[in-house]
C-alpha cells in the first residue's frame, strides 16, 4: 500500500471506554505520534511552566482549560509533529477547539469508541476497598471471596466517592454533554468513524483493520523492546 498523505486523526471516547488501551495498541502497531492533551498538561504542571500554573487551577476544580490556552498549547506542539502521522487524544473537547484545529489542518478521521453507558458504569464502579488496610478489589478482575467483605478481616468493603454509581453517572453525563457537539461537528464533516462494542478486545480488531487502510504498520519485531 502506498501511503500518500500524512494521517491527521483524533480518538474520542468517554472515561472507561478503553480509549487508553486502544491508543496504546495503535501506537504499538502503527508508525504515528500520539499526542494526549491530558499528558501534555500534566507534563506542563510538573515542569511548572506558565501554562502549567494556569492549568492547575482549572484541573484541580475539574474544569476544562479555556479554549484559547488549550488550543495554543496543542497547536504549538503539533508544529513539531508536522512530518509525522499523528493521533490526538483528549483534544479537541469543544467545538471552538475543533474549529481552531481545522484552521491549521484538515482532520481525516475521528475514531469514536462507542461503548454502552451501562458497560462503562459497570467497569467504573467495580472497584471496592477495605478502608482499614487499603486492599483494593475489582469485581471484574479480582473479586472478594464474599460479596462486600474483605477476604482477610471479613470487614465490609466500601467504594470511594469517585467510584460510586451516582458520581460515575454524573461524570459520564458531563462528558456526553460536553463532547456531543464535537462528535456532531465531525459527523457533519463526514469524518466520524464509530466503533461499537462492550469489550475492548472486540473493538480493537475493528480499529486495527480500519487503520491498516490508512497507515503503515510497524513490524512487531521492531515494536518489541530490545533485549
Ligand atoms: P484527561 O487526562 O484527558 O482527562 O485531562 C485531564 C484534565 O485536563 C481535564 O479534566 C481538563 O481539566 C484538562 N483538559 C484536557 N484536555 C483538555 C481540552 N482539550 N480542553 C480543555 N481542558 C482539557
Q: What CATH number is attached to the domain comprising 34?
A: 3.40.50.300
Residue 225 domain flag: no
Residue 201 domain flag: yes
46: burial class by Cβ within 10 Å (0-12, 13-18, 19+)?
exposed
Of ligand 1's listed atoms, the one at least distance from the Cα of 91 is 19
Please say if the pLDDT value at position 133 is more than 60. yes
How many structural domains are present in the chain?
A: 1
Percent of the chain residues past pLDDT 90, beyond the cut: 87
73: burial class by Cβ within 10 Å (0-12, 13-18, 19+)?
buried
Of ligand 1's listed atoms, the one at least distance from the Cα of 36 is 3
Residue 33 domain flag: yes
Q: What's the mean per-residue pLDDT of the chain?
A: 93
Residue 107 domain flag: yes
pLDDT attached to residue 37: 96
Asked if residue 211 has its Cβ within 6 Å of ligand 1, the reply is no
pLDDT attached to residue 221: 62
Residue 227 domain flag: no
| Full residue range of the structural domain in which residue 102 is found | 8-213
Report, as an integer, the average pLDDT of 59-68: 91
pLDDT attached to residue 227: 44
In the block, cell 462503562 appears at 120
Of the candidates 127, 135, 164, 214, the residue annotated as catalytic is: 127
| Cβ(195)–Cβ(168) below 8 Å | no
| Model confidence pLDDT, tens digit, residues 69-109 | 999 999 999 999 999 999 999 999 999 999 999 999 999 99
pLDDT attached to residue 212: 95
Please say if the pLDDT value at position 46 is more than 70. yes
Residue 172 domain flag: yes
Report residue 47 as a C-alpha cell. Answer: 515542569
| Cβ(157)–Cβ(190) below 8 Å | no
Of the candidates 28, 160, 170, 189, the residue annotated as catalytic is: 160
Is 25 among the annotated ligand-binding positions?
no
Amino acid at each position: 500500500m502506498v501511503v500518500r498523505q500524512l494521517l491527521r486523526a483524533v480518538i474520542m471516547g468517554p472515561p472507561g471506554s478503553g480509549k487508553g488501551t486502544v491508543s496504546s495498541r495503535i501506537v504499538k502497531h502503527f508508525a504515528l505520534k500520539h499526542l494526549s492533551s491530558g499528558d501534555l498538561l500534566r507534563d506542563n504542571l510538573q515542569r511548572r511552566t506558565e501554562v502549567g500554573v494556569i492549568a492547575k487551577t482549572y484541573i484541580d476544580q475539574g474544569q476544562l482549560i479555556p479554549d484559547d490556552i488549550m488550543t495554543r498549547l496543542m497547536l504549538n506542539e503539533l508544529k513539531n509533529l508536522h512530518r509525522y502521522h499523528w493521533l490526538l487524544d483528549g483534544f479537541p473537547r469543544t467545538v471552538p477547539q475543533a474549529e481552531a484545529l481545522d484552521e491549521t489542518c484538515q482532520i481525516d478521521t475521528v475514531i469514536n469508541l462507542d461503548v454502552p453507558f451501562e458497560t462503562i458504569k459497570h467497569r467504573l464502579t467495580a472497584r471496592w476497598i477495605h478502608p482499614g488496610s487499603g486492599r483494593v478489589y475489582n469485581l471484574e478482575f479480582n473479586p472478594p471471596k464474599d460479596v462486600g467483605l474483605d477476604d482477610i478481616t471479613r470487614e465490609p468493603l466500601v467504594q470511594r466517592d469517585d467510584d460510586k454509581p451516582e458520581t460515575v453517572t454524573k461524570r459520564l453525563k458531563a462528558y456526553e454533554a460536553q463532547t456531543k457537539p464535537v462528535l456532531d461537528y465531525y459527523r457533519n464533516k463526514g469524518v466520524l468513524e464509530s466503533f461499537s462494542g462492550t469489550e475492548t478486545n472486540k473493538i480493537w480488531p475493528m480499529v486495527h483493520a480500519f487503520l491498516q487502510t490508512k497507515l503503515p504498520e510497524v513490524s512487531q519485531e521492531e515494536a518489541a523492546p530490545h533485549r
